[in-house]
């Protein structure tokens, strides 16, 4: 029991020492205030004005505005029950600030049926290989107006559910 008490006491002392700053000048203002690190996103110049769509852009009844930047009418179009592999960059329309970008060439999988309303509407309008600029109004869970440049890289079917892939049970007959 005595060894257990020494073990607990030594862990407590070690933990208390680990929590203290090793800097001897803890009275300095810099030591008193922790510096919050801000997550920064690489700022990307948009291909078109993010504040206002061009006059020849298409507007839907929901308020989505889009303009194709790269067309590929022969490419397959995704359905709501499929997953779209996309690359995209997003900007805040008010400030023009980039809030997300994929500059490393990777894609992200978006289940169209469960995507944000603007993407759920826009992705089925695209063909594989097309790139589009989207202007989305605030609403439907988005607190501010945003603009996206989206490239539809590929379309894949959602995997079948586990229930669909189980083999059917055999019915045994008495006899």
Kindly indicate the confidence band of residue 44, based on its pLDDT and cuts at 50, 70 and 90.
very high
Q: Is the pLDDT of residue 11 over 70?
A: no
Q: Is the pLDDT of residue 16 over 70?
A: no
Q: What are phi and psi of 159, to 5 degrees?
A: -65, 150
Cα–Cα distance for residue pair 129/110, rounded to 1 Å: 16
Amino acid 68: pLDDT = 97
| DSSP assignment of 74-140 | TSPPPPTTEEEEEEEEEEETTT--EEEE-TTS--EEEEGGGS-HHHHHHGGG--TT-EEEEEE-SBT
Amino acid 40: pLDDT = 86
Q: Is the pLDDT of residue 165 over 90?
A: no
Torsion of CA 23, 28, 30, 32, to 10 degrees: 90
Q: Is the pLDDT of residue 10 over 90?
A: no
Summarize pLDDT for 112-132 with one digit per residue, the tens. Answer: 999 998 999 999 999 999 999
Q: Structure pTM?
A: 0.69
H helix or E strand, kind and range, residue 69: strand 65-70
Amino acid 31: pLDDT = 55
Least reliable range by pLDDT among 26-35, 84-93, 103-112, 164-173? 164-173
Q: Is the pLDDT of residue 76 over 90?
A: yes
Amino acid 14: pLDDT = 39
Q: Where is pLDDT greater, at 134 or 103? A: 134
* Paired tokens of 52: 């206002």
What are the CA-CA distances from residue 43 to residues 52, 88, 150, 152 (Å)?
19, 13, 16, 22
In contact, 124 and 79? CB cutoff 8 Å = yes
Average pLDDT over residues 64-73: 96
**Mean pLDDT value across the chain:** 80
Average pLDDT over residues 132-137: 96
What are the chain's domains? 58-157 (3.10.50.40)
Phi-psi region at 103: left, alpha or beta (left = phi > 0; alpha = psi -120 to 50): alpha
> In terms of C-beta density within 10 A (0-12 exposed, 13-18 middle, 19 or more buried), how is residue 122 classed?
buried
């Amino acid at each position: 029991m005595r060894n257990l008490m020494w073990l607990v006491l030594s862990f407590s002392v070690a933990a208390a020492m680990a929590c203290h700053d090793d800097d001897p000048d803890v009275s300095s203002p810099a030591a008193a205030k922790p510096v919050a690190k801000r997550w920064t996103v690489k700022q990307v110049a948009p291909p078109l004005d993010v504040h206002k769509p061009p006059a020849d852009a298409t507007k839907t009844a929901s308020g989505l505005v889009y303009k194709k930047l790269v067309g590929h009418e022969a490419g397959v179009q995704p359905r709501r029950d499929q997953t779209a592999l996309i690359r995209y960059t997003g900007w805040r329309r008010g400030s023009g600030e980039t809030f997300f970008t994929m500059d490393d060439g990777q894609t992200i999988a978006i289940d169209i049926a469960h995507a944000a309303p603007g993407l759920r509407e826009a992705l089925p309008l695209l063909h594989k290989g097309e790139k589009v600029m989207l202007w989305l109004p605030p609403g439907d869970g988005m607190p501010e107006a945003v603009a996206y440049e989206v490239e539809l890289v590929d379309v894949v079917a959602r995997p079948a559910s586990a229930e669909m892939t189980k083999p059917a049970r055999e019915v045994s007959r008495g006899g």
